[in-house]
Structure 1
Amino acid sequence: MNDFFTLPTLACLVIGYLLGSIPFALVIGKVFYKTDVRNYGSGNLGGTNAGRVLGAKAGAAVIACDILKVVIAIAFSALISPSVSIWTGLAAAIGHCYPIFAHFKGGKAVATMFGFLLATSIFTFHNAWYLIVPLVVFLILLVLFKMVSLSSMCAAIASSLFITYMQWGHLPIIVASWMMSALILYRHRSNIRKIVHGEENKISWL
């Protein structure tokens, strides 16, 4: 825990938050499409809403950029320690959800979560299973239920369970992982209500 009380660690957390706060859905929408995606669809600054409003190419670009910003944050913070890198990834996800550059109204952190899983599997744990396990859970549930929200929430929980099992005894890493899952669940609280009432949107291409 001593590495948490240093200036480099605090700098990583701040930089992680600021990187996460870059609203690529807003930037891409305004620069290339002259459209503020906050005024359409769900109003979220995420890849799903960007794709719905601006088209598949724009949505894919937003998702790629949202993944990349978390990967960058974790990559440089992993030079300090594994626990600092995972907390920096969490800071980036919080920045995505509550971006200082967009009045603290962002996305639901699905793309940033997968950026978090990708980066931690490479730079933090050096083990691809940290990405593969939640990704398989996501894909199976997506095929079965055709709901991105449900699949994303279950993938987040699966990730935290796997990290808890694999990193038992490393409390800072486990806590950060469960905070990430809690953030995902909280940001999807409206989707949870819709799922309960059978009103959640389903994808049509599966």
Structure 2
Amino acid sequence: MVTNIIILICGYLLGSIPFALVIGKLFYHTDVRQYGSGNLGGTNAGRVLGKKVGAAVILLDGLKVVLAMGIASIFSNEAIAIWTGLVCVIGHCWPIFAKFKGGKGVASTYGFLLASSIFIFHSATNFLIPLAMFFIVLYIFKFVSLASITAVITSSLFITGTSSIMNVESCFIIIASWCLTLLVINRHAGNIEKIKKGTENTVSWL
């Protein structure tokens, strides 16, 4: 019990590492929170500091969840790994190291899906299908926010449809998946309003 609590706390702390802030301040002497959307995610970091930085932040934000779930899988079990992934994403969105103002949880949710594919499902399908949906919607509509929301909904529908509710871990992964989907949608509430008003930023490289 104590070990599991420590793992969950470590998962939150790992998720709380704000790589956009760290890279911006360390290498560019720039606080990305003062520019663009003020968000500590890869999209805003990319807009403020360049595509390479944005890609690096997205990669690191995803990998920290993979690391957290990997550690949980080694020292505990699949159920704890699932909840560790969830609290890691929560840590990313509300990081203790950045005054509880973090990113929108998209890259870290993809980290959750990747880790779930590795440690829970042992299949890449649960990661690749929402990733493909992301790029399809992004290519058609040019909105990162819309593509992100569509992808996480797709992932939860897929996980729900392919998991067996007779298994405890399956119930946990379904619950965690929908929690992350609702979290991502909630974090993009402002973007949804901008899409309705026609003022949402579009990507320029597609």
TM-score (norm 1): 0.94
**CA distance in structure 2 between the aligned counterparts of 1:184 and 1:168, rounded to whole angstroms:** 25
State the one-letter code of the partner of 2:31: D
Quote the offset at 1:78 in angstroms. 2.0
Quote the offset at 1:96 in angstroms. 0.4
State the one-letter code of the partner of 1:162: F
**CA distance in structure 2 between the aligned counterparts of 1:163 and 1:82, rounded to whole angstroms:** 15
Structural RMSD (CA): 1.1
Kept in 2, the 8 Å contact 1:74–1:88? The answer is yes
State the partner residue of 2:190.
Answer: 190
Residue deviations 1:49-71, cap 9 Å, x none?
A: 11111112221221121111111
Percent identity (aligned): 59
Kept in 2, the 8 Å contact 1:122–1:128? The answer is yes
State the partner residue of 1:50.
Answer: 45
2:76 corresponds to 1:85 = no
Kept in 2, the 8 Å contact 1:24–1:62? The answer is yes
Note the 1:60-75 alignment, pairs <5 A. Answer: 60-75=55-70
2:143 corresponds to 1:143 = no
2:168 corresponds to 1:174 = no
State the partner residue of 2:34.
Answer: 39
Kept in 2, the 8 Å contact 1:68–1:115? The answer is yes
State the partner residue of 2:5.
Answer: 10
Which stretch shifts more, 148-157 or 77-86? Answer: 77-86
Gap runs ≥5 in structure 1: 1-5
Quote the offset at 1:83 in angstroms. 2.2
Give the total of aligned pairs. 201
**CA distance in structure 2 between the aligned counterparts of 1:184 and 1:82, rounded to whole angstroms:** 23
Q: Which residue of 146, 154, 160 corresponds with 1:158?
A: 154
Moved over 4 A (4+): none
TM-score (norm 2): 0.94
